Amino acid sequence: MGKLKVTILSLSLVTVMSGAAVAPALGAIANYFSNTDPLLIKLIITLPALFIIFTSLLFSSLSSRLSSKTIAISGLFLYIVGGCGAGFVNNIYLLLAFRSILGIGVGLIMPLSTGLIAYFFDKNEQSKLMGYSSAMNNLGGVIATTLSGYLVSLDWRYSFTIYLLGLLVMIMVVEFLPKAEIRNTKNSIDAKSIRNITPYVFTMFITMIIFYALPSNFSIIMTKENLVPTSFIGLLMSVQNITAFTTGLALSIILKIVGRYTKYFASGILALGFFSLSFTNHIVTVVLGLVALGVGLGTLVPMLNDQISYHVDKEKMTSAMSIMSAMLYLGQFLSPFIIDGIQSIFHLQGMQMPFYLAMILSLALLISFVKIPVFVAESRQN
């Protein structure tokens, strides 16, 4: 049974490495495709999110026809092909096509990373394993950004080889995962429940637009500023992942201390993080900014997910969380379009402008929380 647990948890490890895994290489890729629209370069990070949404919507139908093992192997095959294939092309559109294939693969794997836990293990183990699954997500982010940063110092194409990790996971799935059929038995969600969760779903959407200003721009800016060697960009970005991981472990303590003001704390520290990050010519302010973003995101995302349990009936939780996940990935995909669009409309110049805009949106989010009730376990007050 231990091998089964490791196999299922390994699925969580690879899913987080879908989009932002090659973020440290974005600056080098932008230099290689120097005559390409910068928006297309940023889509390398965010485009997989769009295809994750589409594939996730089809998962229920697929799970009623195929075993979880077949779906997992198919998803991992597409993950490896789409992930590694992008490193072999010289055309930006072909590269984006491979990133789309990667997104389809992740869309097949992601529901299994949590669904298999609920299927194979009892209630006593589920809670613990869900926590491990979340930890593996953050660990995957640390491994991916650090390794990608080292590989890009050799050649930007090598950064895509990190997706070969999917091959190891595929071998484990073939060997240890039973051919179980996980039939999705979602209960449809009613209009009232949708109205109840809309503020939190929209807030998650805005949060992802704000946060993805980091992976979409950080490597490009660091490469132009030449603040650190290329090989250190990934290590630098992992500061945010490590901080988010630590914040997740300490979240209950944060909630006890901050209580009903958690929503203001999280959005405020996001704004502070992007303000600090905008000083891209000082390594200390950059590190402090990454730490602040890790704390803000590590607090805000689980807090928003938790609000669903306060506003819908238990039997509608699965459908509600599907909506939340879809908006999360939609925010990731649209982030560069919205940030770059604002810059274009108002003719805003400067490399750091995406970080300033993310800071302004974070402050707007903080103000909006005045009208959005947020409940925490220690203090169920608005």
Mean pLDDT per 10-residue segment, the chain (382 residues): 86 76 93 94 95 86 86 96 96 97 92 80 70 72 86 93 94 90 63 92 96 94 88 90 84 86 95 94 93 93 84 76 86 96 94 96 97 71 42
Output the pLDDT for position 332. 93
At which residue do the structure tokens 């996730």 appear?
Answer: 56
First to last CA, the chain: 43
Q: DSSP assignment, residue 189?
A: P
Of 233, 293, 186, 310, nearest in space to 23 by CA: 233
Task: Determine the Cα–Cα distance for residues 175 and 172; give it in Å rounded to an integer.
Answer: 5
Output the pLDDT for position 201. 93
CATH of the structural domain 1-185, one choice from 1.20.1250.20, 1.10.357.10, 3.40.50.720, 3.40.50.300: 1.20.1250.20
Beta bridge partners of residue 379, listed in sequence order: 376
Beta bridge partners of residue 376, listed in sequence order: 379
CATH architecture type of domain 187-382: Up-down Bundle (1.20)
Output the pLDDT for position 198. 95
Output the pLDDT for position 381. 42
Q: 379 by DSSP, 3-state: which?
A: strand
Tally of CA atoms within 13 A in the half-sphere of 137 that contains its CB: 18
Q: 16 by DSSP, 3-state: which?
A: coil
275 — alpha (psi -120 to 50), left (phi > 0) or beta?
alpha
Output the pLDDT for position 380. 42
Task: Determine the Cα–Cα distance for residues 165 and 298; give it in Å rounded to an integer.
Answer: 25
> In angstroms, what CA-CA distances link 179 with 69, 120, 182, 280?
5, 12, 10, 51
Q: DSSP assignment, residue 190?
A: P
Output the pLDDT for position 379. 44
Task: Determine the Cα–Cα distance for residues 196 and 249; give it in Å rounded to an integer.
Answer: 28
Question: In the chain, where are the structural domains located?
Answer: 1-185, 187-382
Q: Same fold for the domain at 1-185 and the one at 187-382?
A: yes
